[in-house]
Amino acid sequence: MKSFAEQCGIHDDAREAAAHHTARLIEASGLELVRFGWCDLHGVLRGKTLTAKAAVKALRAGVGMVSTLLLKDTSDRTTFKVFEPGGTAELPGFAFASNLILLPDPASFKQLPWAQGTGWLRCQPWFQDGTPVPLDTRRILQLALGKLAQRGFGMVCGLEVEFHIYRIKDPHNGPDLDPVQAAWPGQPPTVSMIHPGYNLLAESWIDMAEEPLRIVQHTAQALGLPLQSLEIELGPSQVEAVFDATDALTAADNMVLFRNGVRQALRRAGYHASFMCRPPFPNIMSSGWHLHQSLVDGATGANVFMRDAPAPGTTPVDALHTLTDTGAAWLAGLLAHARGMASLCTPTVNGFGRFRPNALAPQAVLWGRDNRGAMLRVVGGAGDGATRIENRIGEPSANPYLYMAAQIHAGLDGLARGLMPPRATESPYASDAEMIPTNLPDALTALQDDGALVEGFGADFVRYYRRVKLSEAQRHALAEDATDFERREYFSRF
């Protein structure tokens, strides 16, 4: 009898060898539990925890998961009426809260450094008939990378992630764990800061925050993540983690693992990590997620954004002074679809408060040569193998698979149409430039109106994504206290 993995058509000799190896690791390590994790629409890990014996069986058979987990907004409310006739007519296979199967990648196995006797496997959902679930965001990125590969390219990404760490005042009996205050969503924990802020890269502040930052360091490294640096950011209790560049899919997987891991490890030590863009306190600084990207030749691995010498007659404000024709067209594609991709890179109501002038955050659809006020920052130069484009539009809670897929579909359109960007800005906060959307509903409308992105992601996915995210935006609009809504909705979840 075929295993479920064989039904799905993905079980080959390599996967069987990986499954056998992982089964032996589980048994030899004396693990008691294995978590089967899957990244939801909002970038949050969900899944099931199996005993070691059951986990070995599930390497080939998978484990059941309720399908409504793909239909929830950030408050965990199901946005489709799954028990009503026609409630899921546009989403075949999701009626009546039916079952999906989470199938793990045996090669993704890790032993969690913060949870004793516990392993972890990355999973993706499948329908029970062995067909893939098209709404799975990791699959969305895999398909986008497949289109890029057809053009002969791979994508390399580096992560630069700002976030906040707080000390929990009462980690065992705080408002978030008080049964009298339980609600949907509930109260966040009461916290204090780990450093006072407003002293960028201060060594004394990093010494003050050393304990939680050591936890971040040890957790990231134990998970095998390519952590490069930990830094003190400008805002109170704000820090930044920077990672070496990897292929895009690995980078997205790493972002999911990093957020999930440091939040859990820090919580056990009495700290709260928040990847919410603007935590609900006065005088904070917004957190961004800057995505560094370049294309490589699929055959040689060479950076195809790097040119050997500036194009004749150009100056540093011309794209072709730094980038090849391919790089310039990719840059132009990102500019052309900036408004359409905004809701995929900044997917929360809270995140749009970051787009303010003179705050090291973008406000307009512009590019600049090593300019941190522009949305797109071109870094490098002729002969520099690290030449790349940095997109500064993202927030740290974004689903990384959607964030990166948006870059690919926008960039591919730039290549297909041979677009050329305008000259670099020297006034990134000029009022006469096209502006990034200032709220989530407008950004969702821009996505719906962007033909290339709709074609790239698929009309069905865009329709589904808009419905789920509009539910969040509508609840925010109806909230009596918008700040309290964001505090409950985002501070704990992200």
Bridge partner list, 271? 167
- Is the CA virtual torsion 273, 404, 330, 332 positive or negative? negative
Which run of H or of E encompasses 175? none
Bridge partner list, 233? none
Q: How distant, in Å, are the alpha carbons of 132, 133, 347, 379, 461 from that of 139?
A: 8, 8, 19, 30, 12
Name the residue among 322, 337, 162, 143 with its Cα closest to residue 248.
Answer: 143
Q: State the Cα–Cα distance between residues 328 and 35, nearest whole angstrom.
A: 43
Backbone angles phi, psi at 199, to 5 degrees: -155, 70
Q: How far is CA 131 from the centre of its chain?
A: 25
Write b or e for each residue in 461-491: b if 16 or more Cβ atoms lie within 10 A of its Cβ, otherwise e. bbebbbbbbbbbbebbeeeeeeeebbbbbbb
Instruction: For residue 364, give every residue at least 6 positions away whose Cβ sits within 8 Å of its Cβ, in sequence order, or none.
Output: 375, 425, 428, 429, 430, 433, 434, 435, 436
Q: State the Cα–Cα distance between residues 152 and 117, nearest whole angstrom.
A: 43
Token readout for 427 is: 């006034």
pLDDT of residue 447: 98
Q: State the Cα–Cα distance between residues 41 and 97, nearest whole angstrom.
A: 17
- Is the CA virtual torsion 219, 221, 227, 233 positive or negative? positive
Q: State the Cα–Cα distance between residues 290 and 233, nearest whole angstrom.
A: 14
pLDDT of residue 273: 98
Q: How distant, in Å, are the alpha carbons of 43, 337, 440 from that of 40?
A: 5, 24, 19
Q: State the Cα–Cα distance between residues 354 and 367, nearest whole angstrom.
A: 18
Q: Where are the beta strands (DSSP E) in 40-98?
A: 45-51, 63-66
Token readout for 417 is: 């149409």
Give the type of residue at 305.
F
Bridge partner list, 155? 295
Name the residue among 15, 3, 56, 4 with its Cα closest to residue 33.
Answer: 56
Q: State the Cα–Cα distance between residues 468 and 470, nearest whole angstrom.
A: 6
Q: State the Cα–Cα distance between residues 341 and 436, nearest whole angstrom.
A: 10
Pairing of the two strands 238-247 and 227-232: antiparallel
| Tens-level pLDDT at each residue, the chain (494 residues) | 789 899 999 989 999 999 999 999 999 989 999 999 999 999 999 999 999 999 999 999 999 999 999 999 999 999 999 999 888 888 999 999 999 999 999 999 999 999 999 999 999 999 999 999 999 999 999 999 999 999 999 999 999 999 999 999 998 988 988 899 998 888 999 999 999 999 988 899 999 999 999 999 999 999 999 999 999 999 999 999 999 999 999 999 999 999 999 999 999 999 999 999 999 999 999 999 999 999 999 999 999 999 999 999 999 999 999 999 999 999 999 999 999 999 999 999 999 999 988 878 899 999 999 899 999 999 999 999 999 999 999 999 999 999 999 999 999 999 999 999 999 999 999 878 899 999 999 999 999 999 999 999 999 999 999 999 999 999 888 888 888 888 888 988 88
Cα dihedral: 339, 403, 344, 144 (round 10): 90
Q: Where are the beta strands (DSSP E) in 332-487?
A: 367-369, 376-379, 388-394
pLDDT of residue 44: 96
Q: How far is CA 390 from the centre of its chain?
A: 15
Q: State the Cα–Cα distance between residues 120 and 33, nearest whole angstrom.
A: 9
pLDDT of residue 432: 85
Q: State the Cα–Cα distance between residues 394 and 345, nearest whole angstrom.
A: 5
Write b or e for each residue in 250-260: b if 16 or more Cβ atoms lie within 10 A of its Cβ, otherwise e. ebbbbbbbbbb
**3-state percent breakdown (helix, strand, coil) of the chain, nearest 5:** 40, 20, 40
Q: How distant, in Å, are the alpha carbons of 103, 125, 133 from that of 130?
A: 10, 10, 9
Instruction: For residue 300, give every residue at least 6 positions away whose Cβ sits within 8 Å of its Cβ, in sequence order, or none.
Output: none
Instruction: For residue 7, give every residue at least 6 positions away whose Cβ sits within 8 Å of its Cβ, in sequence order, or none.
Output: 129, 130
